[in-house]
Structures are given as structure tokens and as C-alpha cells.
């Protein structure tokens, strides 16, 4: 069984072809600057061959065609016939209220994805083009949609309803949805597997350029830090996370910004980038902090503190914690981040082993023997999770 996983971003397309017999990646790649000048792709196959080229891609349809050509290429391709692909799993950003599980794609599913354009205006339209292009180019191959919001659909109303007039929820679907669901689910499943226990109170921390925390009980999400959009919650690379909503009116009046300018500031110029004025990349900010840059140190301190506060809130939501798991770029690779966050959690009985924590990109338990809460690092693999979900559905 070979599954092609497609992740169409606003101007990019990431892909992997995965052999599900042994869950190995046969080929993977990235098309960038789709619809912009100088678009290009990078393709790698399992034997390490790497091809990087400029290629004209006016839209995601052109990009999907390039992906298929790459997979079939006579020199560096990994399949001889498109029919070798058994199914395509599409990452779809926003499933709104419609989807709590991955689904086989039909007209109804496509209509619902279109209905959610307003909730995911940068991603859902590209996701749908990816789906429709695959339907045209591979009409006999099953297509599956895996939603970033689906895992969070088990949240109770008290966690997902905003304290706004109720009709905005009823009429406009304004509520909390949560994101990074595929990653939180992957990590939760891995933790259950490691501990051989499906009845855990678990907090997963997906800490990357975008970051979110998720409270999980018995493998089901009960709360998460992102909301209607990915802007809510933690301070992130460039997103502000939680702020007093009155700041929007202040910025409009005092700086004369219009609503789109404010939206751009909150999404792209805030967070660790905005506070440090160094970079949105945590590696640069960590380096600047080591060189005693005051704003860089402050940005990191705010990031850690906010994350620890969410873990505290979710300890209350879950009435205790058995396990905390760190994942994604920063969660997997920054011992400093994990240690700084865990240092806030001694009151919960969290104790980490500094030596075990001194590791990057590996699955490892970092709590010590005395810790009342187990703490793990689990590298996430959203593409593999999408491929597994796709396989489960087509079987």
C-alpha cells in the first residue's frame, strides 16, 4: 500500500509518498512560492537523491502536476505508474463543525470544506484545489481529508463557547475549534502505546513556530489553546496569542491602523518576534538571549511563562496530570525550553532529569524517578498520521 500525503498551504505544497507496509518515506518534497514569482520545488527520494529546481507554478494545480511528474520521473522517480498510489490523504486546515474524523471525499465533503473558507481563508481554498486536481489527474484513486480541527471536536461546550452573545455561535459558528489536531493525536497515541495505557490525563505541548497546548483525557481532547483561528493561546513565533481584545480599539485609535493592518500585526509581527525584535526563529532568539539581549530574554521568558500557565489551567481542567509531552520544532529540539517550562511545575510534582533532557529530536522520557508526572519528548509526524488515517479509511 502506497499513500500520497498532500499538505497544501497558502503558497506552498508539502508532500510525502509513504509505503505503509513498513511506514517508510519513499519520496518527499516541497513546492514553494506557488502563485508568486520564482516558484520552485525540492524533491528528495529514499536513497538520498535530491532535486531542486525553479518551475513555473501559477496555482496549486500546477504544483500537484509537478509532484506527480516527480514521483514518476524516469531518473529520480520512485513509481512507474500512477496506479501504484493506493490513496491520497489531504491535510485540510479547517473542518468547522462538520468533521470530527477523517473522511472519504465526495461532493458533500467538498461542499463542507468550501463552507469553511471563511474560517480558514488562507488554507481551505488551496486544500480544495489540491483535492480537485487529484480527482482529475487520478480519477480512480481514493481521496481522504484529514482535518487539523477534527481531534478537538470532543471538547465540551464549556471549553469551546466564547462568552459572546450566543447567536454568534448559533448563526455564525463563532466558537473555539483548535488546531494542530493531527499532531496532538499522534503524540497522544504514541504516549498510550509507550505506557500501555488508554486512560491517561495527558497534556501535549506542540511548540514550534505555531504553538498550542492540548488537554487530553482517555485519548480525547477536552480543551486546547487555539480558538476560532490559530491566533489564540500561547505567544508564538509571530502570533500574539491571548491579548485583551480592547487592544484592537486602542491600536485603531492611537495608531490609526485599519482592521486588516491590525490583523497582520497580531498574526505576523507579534509573539517572540514582536517582543524580541530579533527574529521569529527560536534558535536566533535563544542565541541573542545567551548574548544578554534583554528583549530576547524577555520574549523567551514570556513564552515559557504562558505555556506553564496553560499547563496549570489544564491540570485544573483534567483534575490532575499523569503525563506531559513536548513535540514540534522547539518542543523536540530545545532542552532549555522544556526545562524552563517544567521549572514552573514543581508544585505538580514535576521533576526532570537534566541529563535525559539534554537531547534533541529523539523520543525520550525526561522526568526523573521521583517525578509525580511523567514528562516525555515525542517527535511528531503529521504526515505519517495522515497516511495512517487514510489507510484506516480505505481499508
Binding site for ligand AMP (CB under 6 A): 208-209, 237, 281-283, 286, 328-330, 333-334, 360
DSSP state of 367: B
Pick the catalytic residue: 73, 140, 148, 242?
148
> Can 148 be counted among the known catalytic residues?
yes
Q: Which residues make Cβ contacts (< 8 Å) with residue 72, sequence separation at least 6?
A: 79, 80, 81, 82
Q: In the bound complex, what is the minimum distance in angstroms from residue 199's beta carbon to ligand AMP?
A: 29
Looking at beta carbons only, is 160 or 282 nearer to ligand AMP?
A: 282
Comparison of 148 and 286: residue with beta carbon closer to ligand AMP: 286
Residue 270 C-beta: closest distance to ligand AMP, Å = 15
* Residue number with CB closer to ligand AMP (227 or 271): 271
**Shortest Å distance, C-beta 195 to ligand AMP:** 24
CA pair distance 226, 231, nearest whole angstrom = 7
DSSP-derived pairing of the beta strands 103-104 and 50-54: unpaired
78 or 275: CB nearest ligand AMP: 275
Q: What is the 3-state secondary structure (H, E, C) of 27-65?
A: EEEEEECCCCCCCEEEEEECCCCEEEEECCCCCHHHHHH
- Cα 393 to Cα 395: distance, rounded to the nearest angstrom: 5
**Cβ-Cβ contacts under 8 Å for 133 (sequence gap 6 or more):** 60, 61, 64, 65
Spatial separation of the C-alpha atoms in residues 8 and 15, rounded to whole Å: 9
Buried (b) or exposed (e) across 374-394, using 16+ Cβ within 10 A? bbbbbbbbbbbbbbbbbbebe
Nearest position to ligand AMP, beta carbon? 329
Cell numbers at residue 7, please?
499538505
> CA nearest 280: which of 180, 206, 207, 209?
209
CB of 337 to ligand AMP, least distance (A): 7
For ligand AMP, which is the closer residue by CB, 93 or 373?
A: 93
- Shortest separation between residue 285's beta carbon and ligand AMP, angstroms: 7
Active site residue ranges: 148
Amino acid at each position: 500500500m502506497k499513500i500520497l500525503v498532500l499538505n497544501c498551504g497558502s503558497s506552498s505544497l508539502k508532500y510525502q509518498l509513504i509505503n505503509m507496509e513498513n511506514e517508510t518515506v519513499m519520496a518527499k518534497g516541497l513546492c514553494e512560492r506557488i502563485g508568486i514569482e520564482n516558484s520552485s520545488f525540492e524533491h528528495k527520494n529514499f536513497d538520498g537523491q535530491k532535486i531542486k529546481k525553479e518551475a513555473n507554478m501559477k496555482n496549486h494545480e500546477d504544483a500537484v502536476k509537478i509532484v506527480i511528474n516527480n514521483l514518476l520521473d524516469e531518473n529520480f522517480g520512485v513509481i512507474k505508474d500512477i496506479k501504484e498510489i493506493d490513496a491520497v490523504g489531504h491535510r485540510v486546515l479547517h473542518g468547522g463543525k462538520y468533521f470530527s474524523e477523517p473522511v472519504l471525499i465526495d461532493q458533500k465533503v467538498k461542499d463542507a470544506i468550501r463552507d469553511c473558507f471563511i474560517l480558514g481563508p488562507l488554507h481551505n481554498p488551496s486544500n480544495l484545489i489540491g483535492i480537485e486536481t487529484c480527482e482529475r489527474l487520478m480519477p480512480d484513486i481514493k481521496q481522504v481529508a484529514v482535518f487539523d480541527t477534527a481531534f478537538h471536536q470532543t471538547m465540551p461546550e464549556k471549553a469551546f463557547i466564547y462568552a459572546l452573545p450566543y447567536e454568534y455561535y448559533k448563526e455564525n459558528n463563532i466558537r473555539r475549534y483548535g488546531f494542530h489536531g493531527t499532531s496532538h493525536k499522534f503524540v497522544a497515541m504514541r504516549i498510550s502505546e509507550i505506557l500501555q495505557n488508554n486512560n491517561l490525563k495527558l497534556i501535549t505541548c506542540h511548540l514550534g513556530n505555531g504553538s498550542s497546548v492540548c488537554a487530553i483525557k482517555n485519548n480525547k481532547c477536552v480543551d486546547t489553546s487555539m480558538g476560532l483561528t490559530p491566533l489564540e493561546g500561547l505567544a508564538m513565533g509571530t502570533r500574539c496569542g491571548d491579548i485583551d481584545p480592547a487592544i484592537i480599539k486602542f491600536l485603531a485609535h492611537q495608531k490609526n491602523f485599519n482592521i486588516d493592518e491590525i490583523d497582520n500585526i497580531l498574526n505576523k509581527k507579534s509573539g517572540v518576534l514582536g517582543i524580541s525584535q530579533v527574529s521569529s526563529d527560536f534558535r536566533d532568539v535563544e542565541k541573542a538571549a545567551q548574548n544578554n539581549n534583554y528583549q530576547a530574554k524577555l520574549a523567551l521568558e514570556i513564552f515559557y511563562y504562558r505555556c506553564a500557565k496553560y499547563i496549570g489551567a489544564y491540570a485544573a481542567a483534567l483534575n490532575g496530570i499523569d503525563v506531559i509531552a513536548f513535540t514540534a520544532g522547539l518542543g523536540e529540539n530545545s532542552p532549555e525550553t522544556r526545562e524552563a517550562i517544567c521549572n514552573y511545575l514543581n508544585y505538580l510534582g514535576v521533576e526532570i532529569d537534566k541529563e535525559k533532557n539534554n537531547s534533541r529530536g529523539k523520543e525520550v522520557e525526561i522526568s526523573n524517578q521521583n517525578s509525580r508526572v511523567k514528562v516525555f519528548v515525542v517527535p511528531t509526524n503529521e504526515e505519517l498520521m495522515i497516511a495512517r488515517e487514510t489507510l484506516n479509511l480505505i481499508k
